[in-house]
């Protein structure tokens, strides 16, 4: 077995640290806490399904009427209230 000098070991360790330091942002994206959250979110999203309602014309009219009612109930400011 050949004898490896301590200088070779130190240089190899420095090279490994340089590569890890350069690739750290990419490693953190794939292996970090945010990556775990992202994978969980993707799993949850894959379980969702789209439900189509009964697209009747009355539904659109009812929706428009409810929006108008809600808009009429919103508080407004008059010119005298601003002062």
Q: At CB < 8 A and 24+ separation, what contacts does 21-24 make?
A: none
The whole-angstrom separation of Cα 51 and Cα 44 is: 16
Confidence of residue 66 (pLDDT cuts 50, 70, 90): very high
What are the angstrom distances between the C-alpha of 44 and each of 32, 37, 52?
19, 11, 20
Confidence of residue 26 (pLDDT cuts 50, 70, 90): confident
Q: Kindly tell me if the per-residue pLDDT of 1 is higher than 60.
A: no
Dihedral class, residue 6 (left if φ above 0, else alpha if ψ from -120 to 50, else beta): alpha
Q: What is the pTM of this model?
A: 0.40
pLDDT computed for residue 81 by the predictor? 64
Closest CA to 14 of 2, 6, 25: 6
């Amino acid at each position: 077995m050949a004898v490896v000098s301590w200088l070779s070991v130190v240089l190899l360790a420095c090279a490994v640290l340089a590569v890890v330091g350069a690739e750290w942002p990419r490693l953190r994206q794939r292996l970090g806490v945010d990556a775990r959250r992202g994978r969980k979110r993707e799993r949850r999203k894959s379980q969702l399904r789209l439900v189509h309602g009964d697209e009747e014309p009355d539904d659109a009219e009812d929706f428009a009427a409810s929006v108008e009612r809600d808009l009429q109930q919103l508080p407004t400011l008059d010119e005298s209230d601003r002062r």
